[in-house]
Amino acid sequence: PRQPAKTLWYDRPRYVFLEFCVEDSTDVKVVIEDHRLVFSCKNADGVEFYNEINLYARVNSKDSQEKRSDRSITCFMRKWKEKVAWPRITKENIKPAWLSMDFDNWRDWEGDDEVERAMVEEYAEV
């Protein structure tokens, strides 16, 4: 039986970040398209996770990446229109039960370019 992974998201001037909270993931597949993201994996117990998100706005799928850790899989997607805030991650104005805003990483954008650039560079080095 497939189930959606608990997902956190937050918005930055150039990127939108999504974190799929699955520990010890295997068979991770992330497909980032201009208007859609599809995520799937299994955990150590063999449970299958699957999330499909129709994105609020267009992203540059060629300049988007994901990074896997023991605790989660983080995707960062380059916005097509930079410095335009996304009020939500989904195209539809509904909030699935598995989706939450990541308040730990959410903050005002002023002076945030440097922080964001450092984060993206840090991910890219992995």
d(CA 93, CA 78): 21
pLDDT(73) > 80: yes
Mean pLDDT across 32-61: 97
pLDDT tens for residues 8-32? 999 999 999 999 999 999 999 999 9
Please compute Rg for the chain using Cα positions: 14
d(CA 61, CA 33): 5
* CATH number of the structural domain spanning residue 42: 2.60.40.790
Domain of residue 13 covers 7-125
Q: Is residue 1 part of a domain?
A: no
| Helix ranges restricted to H, 1-126 | 113-125
Which two tokens mark 20?
């799929």
Q: Is residue 48 part of a domain?
A: yes
Percentage, residues of the chain above pLDDT 90:
79
Q: Is residue 18 part of a domain?
A: yes
Report the 10 Å Cβ neighbour count for 20. 26
Q: Is residue 76 part of a domain?
A: yes
Contacts of 62 (CB under 8 A, 6+ apart): none
Q: In total, how many domains does the chain have?
A: 1
Q: Is residue 2 part of a domain?
A: no
Using pLDDT thresholds of 50, 70 and 90, give the confidence band for residue 116: low
pTM for the model: 0.87
